[in-house]
Each structure stands twice: as structure tokens, then as C-alpha cells.
Amino acid sequence: MNESSDKATGTLFVVATPIGNLKDITLRAIEVLQACDWVACEDTRHSQRLFQAHGIDSKTLALHQHNENQQAQSIIDRLLQGHNVALVSDAGTPLISDPGFPLIQLAHEQQLSVVPIPGPSALIALLSVAGLNTNPFTFHGFLPAKSQQRIKALEAWLPLSGTHVFYESAHRIVACVDDLLAVFGATTPVAMGRELTKTFEQVFRGSLNELTDLIVADRNHQKGEFVLAIQGQKADTDEQLTPEQRQLASQLQQHLPPKTAAKVVADHYGINKKQVYQFMLDAKAP
């Protein structure tokens, strides 16, 4: 393989695999998976479909969220014995909202060679076609499952700047989009990737209000795996807030935390909370 100069110990390869279309795998990834002594899979049965498609017959073992703390040391022992091991997840790049962190951490502690074999990633796939500003962007993985905690996490992004990317599951997508709408407002730019690279791939770009209409209108749009990206808007809040709204915001921020004061003003006048919050931040700026 010629990937490591260390002859005494094995190399741990972190291999990205397709997120849907089995052809989305690099020649190098196939070569490494074929040559490794072991492949640590998130689900060995799931990975077999990919292996069969590309003639990979390396021995496999399971490493997933329920056993990774225990299994990691076993894999380290194999590496110390000179075996080469590849780490793959069910789809995409390992450790990006997938198992593997304890193993990688232990490998570095043991000063073992850890080599990335780059390839597919759902968040990068969406950003490449979203037409949103990616300089900078922040990846959040999966948001909290419960609405109250999710809203709290979203409010921490205020005032919304840059682009924020996250994953969401089918059974939470409707509630999640409702929370996005409540926190960021109807006109906020958003991109959604659903079932990327798969048969029913869907890419949407528009406003949060338009995304809500799309998802609610057809239950088929609520199925699959989702990646969403939210982009901050630079708005002149002084022009959007009336004098009365600005006056109330200025008075309340003397007595309440900015986010609380912004919510009170927004609820009172039926306006976008982030606009009020940004106005208060701008007013405090030197």
C-alpha cells in the first residue's frame, strides 16, 4: 500500500465511503479497503453491499456507537501487532456525526499512523450546490431531538452570521423546520439536501417559508436523510424597525438580557426576533 513508513506497527486508515450511489468511491479507497487486514465497520452487513460491488473481501469487525469504547482497544492491539486496519461508517466520512472518535484518540495516544482517505460527505455535497455563502460555515451535526432544547440551540446562533449546516432525520424534519421558522423568520435563506446521491435525491434552495410549504405539501418530502444549511442575512434593522419598536427595544435591554428583550418586542409587535436582537447589538456597538 505504501501508505506508511512504519514497518513495526500497522496503519489506521479513515476511509470515506459513498453516501448513496455506490459508484461514488475513490480508486484509492477501493485499493486501501482491499489491502487492509481488517475493516472496522459501523454495520458489517451494510458495508458488505459496497464490498461486493467493488470486489473487497477483507475481514470485517463491528465498531459502532454501542461498542466503540470497548472495541477501540481491541483494534489498537491489532495495529500494534502490525495489522493495517481501515475504519468506515455506514455512509460518508467517518467521525462526521459517526462513530470512531475513541479509536482515533487512542491511535494518536499510541503514536500510531492515522491516514485519511478522503471522499464523500453529505454536508460538503450540499454546500457545493446550495449557492449559499460558505465563508465561513459551521457544522453542528445533529440538533437536539426535543423542540425546547433544539430552539435553545438555534437561538445560540443569533445573530445569524455565516452559514450553519446540520443533519436531521425524517421523523423530526417537520418539527425542526417549524423551529427554524420561529427562530430565524420566514425570509431566511435555506438549502436542503434530501437523499443526496440516491434515487430520490432532492435539492431545495429558497426561503424558510418556502421550505415549510414544500415539506408540508407532500409527505414524500418528509422521507429520507436530510442536510440543511441556513444562511445569515445582513439587514438594515434600523429601517425595518419602526420608531416605536426601537424605543421599546432600547428600554427593555436596560433591564433584560438581549435575547429575552428581543423576544418580548418581537412577540408584542409580531415581528422577526432576530431583527430586534441585531438592532440591540448594533445599538450597543461603539
Q: Is 222 helix (H, G, I), strand (E, B) or coil?
A: helix
In a domain? residue 168: yes
DSSP 100-150: -HHHHHHHHHTT-EEEEE----HHHHHHHHH-S--SSEEEEEEPPSSHHHH
In which element (H, E) is residue 29 found?
Answer: helix 27-35
Residues 148, 90 share a domain: no
Residues 106, 27 share a domain: yes
In a domain? residue 139: yes
Task: Quote the pLDDT of residue 8.
Answer: 87
Domain that holds residue 32: 11-120
Tell me, yes or no, if the pTM score tops 0.85. Answer: no
Task: Quote the pLDDT of residue 4.
Answer: 45
The residue out of 231, 251, 267 marking a domain boundary is 231
In a domain? residue 131: yes
In a domain? residue 183: yes
Task: Quote the pLDDT of residue 202.
Answer: 97
Residues 97, 47 share a domain: yes
Task: Provide the residue-wise pLDDT of the chain in tens; the chain has 286 residues.
Answer: 645 444 589 999 999 999 999 999 999 999 999 999 999 999 999 999 999 999 999 999 999 999 999 999 999 999 999 999 999 999 999 999 999 999 999 999 999 999 999 999 999 999 999 999 998 999 999 999 999 999 999 999 988 888 999 999 999 999 999 999 999 999 999 999 999 999 999 999 999 999 999 999 999 999 999 999 999 865 444 457 888 899 999 999 899 998 899 989 988 888 888 889 888 888 776 5
Compute how many other C-beta atoms are within 10 angstroms of the C-beta atom of residue 186: 12
Nearest residue to 197 (alpha-carbon basis) of 16, 21, 17? 21
Question: Contact, 99 vs 63, CB < 8 A?
Answer: yes
Number of compact structural domains in the chain: 3
> What CATH number is attached to the domain comprising 74?
3.40.1010.10
In a domain? residue 86: yes
Residue 65 contacts by C-beta under 8 Å, 6 or more apart in sequence?
99
In a domain? residue 4: no
Question: Contact, 68 vs 102, CB < 8 A?
Answer: yes
Residues 174, 105 share a domain: no
Residues 220, 146 share a domain: yes
Residues 35, 81 share a domain: yes
Residues 209, 181 share a domain: yes
